[in-house]
Amino acid sequence: MVGITAIGAHIPMYRLNLDEIGKMWQTRTMKGEKAVAGYDEDAITMAVAATLDCMNGSGKDINALYFATTSAPYKEKQSAATIAGATDLGRECHTADFTNSLRAGSIALKAAVAEVKCGTVKQAIVTAADCRKGAPQGRFEQLFGDGAAAVMVGSNNVIATVDDSYSIFSDFTDLWRLDDEAFVQSADGRFVDLVGYIPIMKEAISGIMKKCSLTANDFAKVVFYAHDGREHADLAKKMGFSPAQVQEPLFAQIGNTGTAAALMMLVAALEGAAPNDKILFVGYGDGADAFVLRATEAISRVRNTEGMKDRLARKMPIDYGKYLHWHNLIRVEPPTLPERSEPSLITRWRDRKAVAALYGVKCKNCGTAQFPPIGQKIRICVHCQAKDQFEDYKFSDKKGKLFSFALDQLQPTKNPPGVNGVVDFDEGGRLICELTDCDPSKVSVGMPVEMTFRKMGKGKSINYFWKGKPMAL
């Protein structure tokens, strides 16, 4: 039976309390806080984190990676390929971007299920991430949050089968963003609800229930997209779902994460599911996709991994100024150091294995693992001087400890001071790298760190590389 075999998510650790926005604009705010992507995160890096979480160390037999987003960093150039590279998937992995619709996540899920069912791929990862921008002072500024989810679709060790699905499309203009616009716009709220969202969702949900001969009461959990909490509660009521059935949409904790939202809710629902629970899952946007899922005995496996609760707990508050700066919503004084030159695309290509999945080398003669500085590829072992005796060695999945550190006030960064570390990996090898997602006052020698894929800089193209990240905040 085809279904979901593993789940993962990523919530950026920064939170903007909505009161901060209220203070800034002297306006009424919603309750809660929103997750804000770090200055070095975007939809791609968040999807990499969620995908790695979902893969849990094994990329074996993953033949497809589908990425859903409305905020791809490149308009032309595939994001899924970057994600597949960073997560070190095989060269023949089928990659695709599903985009331009809030429903892209469930569309990608539907495609993955179909492809696994017809046997062209063994396992497919569906990952969704969004970093949507709401104009300052507007409702969406308060509403939108950043996050990512990933689910693996396969036919072995299924934790929740995908029993059936039902989809409709609708060319309804409720939310949109034009090609040259930074901010999401929307039609009148009541029009969106009464003419668009509610009837479309009703039609999709009724459609799948009719198709599967199920009623509202048959579901242990219902997981569905909505633009905001009020709309979410309204639909639940109108459909006759009891509060106990309805998966909490996480809006007050992380905001509306766009294409990732429904899948993040699904991840949370599966974490709490019991064997044989029937789950209704509905994605929305330009129509709706409804799915019936059923948890299997294997669902107990997911409880042993990091859950949504832990992800939500790992957080650090930021203020409104940082939020504006990190997301390019304000122009600031440039750093006094000379500007760094653009990376050479040629060098980056030559070192692509190092850039993508932090591949270094290991000497077959003396066993020393080494990560040569980017652009300084080595052929001679720095330890035993053996020539051309290296095998590839991946560092991105290795854990290490901070051997030394420096908090750099001169380094150009949107989150000063620049935190830099000498990381010694537990299984050998050393990397001098930038650290991220950390509290500079708590950085100390000996601190355990892991690696995370981040945006280093944006010029004509975007440069991604790996940074260290403290394992505990």
Partner 1 sequence: MESIRDKVAIVGMGCTKFGERWDMGVGDLLVEAAYEAFKDAGIEPKDVQAAWLGTVFSGISGITLAPLGLQYIPISRVENMCATGSEALRAASYAVAAGVVDVALAIGVEKLKDTGVTGVKGPGLVGDNPDGTAGIAPGYSAPASFAYLASRYFSEYKMKPEDGRKLLAEIAVKNHYNGSLNPKAHFSNLITVEQAMKAPIVAYPLALFDCCGVSDGAAAAIVTRADMAKSFRPDPIYIKALSLAVGARQGAMVQDYDFVHLEENVRASRNAYADAGIKDPRKEISMAEVHDCFTVHEMIVYEDLGFAKRGRAKEDIEAGTFTLKGDLPVNTDGGLKCFGHPLGASGLRMMYEVYHQLRGKAGPRQVKNPRLGLTHNLGGNAGTGIATVFIVGNEKS
User: What is the binding site for partner 1 (CB under 8 A)?
Assistant: 336-344, 346-348, 351, 355, 368, 370-376, 382-383, 403-411, 417-418, 420, 422, 424, 428-430, 432-434, 445-446, 456-457, 459, 463, 465, 467
What sections of 308-451 are H helices per DSSP? 308-313, 320-326, 345-350, 352-357
Residue 266 vs 435, nearer CB to partner 1? 435
Q: In angstroms, what is the minimal distance from the CB of 201 to partner 1?
A: 46
Q: Which is nearer to partner 1, 187 or 406 (CB)?
A: 406
For residue 286, the minimal CB distance to partner 1 (Å) is 38
Helices (H) then strands (E): counts for the chain? 14, 22
CB-wise, 161 or 365, nearer to partner 1? Answer: 365
Q: Which is closer to partner 1, CB of 276 or CB of 344?
A: 344
Which single residue is written with the structure tokens 């537990």? Answer: 426
Least distance in angstroms from the C-beta of 344 to partner 1: 3
Q: Looking at residue 122, what DSSP letter applies? A: S
Name which of 215 and 376 has its Cβ closer to partner 1.
Answer: 376
Answer left, alpha or beta for residue 472, where phi above 0 means left and psi between -120 and 50 means alpha. beta
**Least CB distance to partner 1 at residue 378 (A):** 8
Cβ of residue 336: shortest distance to partner 1, in angstroms? 5
Q: Which is nearer to partner 1, 39 or 144 (CB)?
A: 39
CA distance 407 to 191: 52
DSSP for 342-375, written as a single string: PPPHHHHHHTHHHHHH-EEEEETTT--EE-PPTT
Token pair of 393 as six digits:
């060695």
Longest dimension (CA), the chain: 72
Q: Which long-range contacts (CB under 8 A, 24 or more apart) does 331-335 make?
A: 335/410, 335/412
CB of 342 to partner 1, least distance (A): 6
Q: Which residues, other chains included, contact 211 with Cβ-Cβ below 8 Å and sequence gap of 6+?
A: 164, 166
Shortest approach of partner 1 to residue 65 CB, angstroms?
A: 24
Whole-angstrom distance, CA of residue 327 vs CA of residue 320? 11
Nearer to partner 1, 136 or 418 (CB): 418
Q: At what angle do helices 198-212 and 229-239 cross, to 10 degrees?
A: 40
Q: How far is the CB of 392 from partner 1 (least distance, A)?
A: 16
Residue with tokens 């790695």: 52
Residue placing its CB nearer to partner 1 in the complex, 207 or 372:
372
DSSP string, 156-192: SS-SEEEEEEEEEE----SEE--TT-SS-EE--HHHI
CA distance 316 to 319: 10
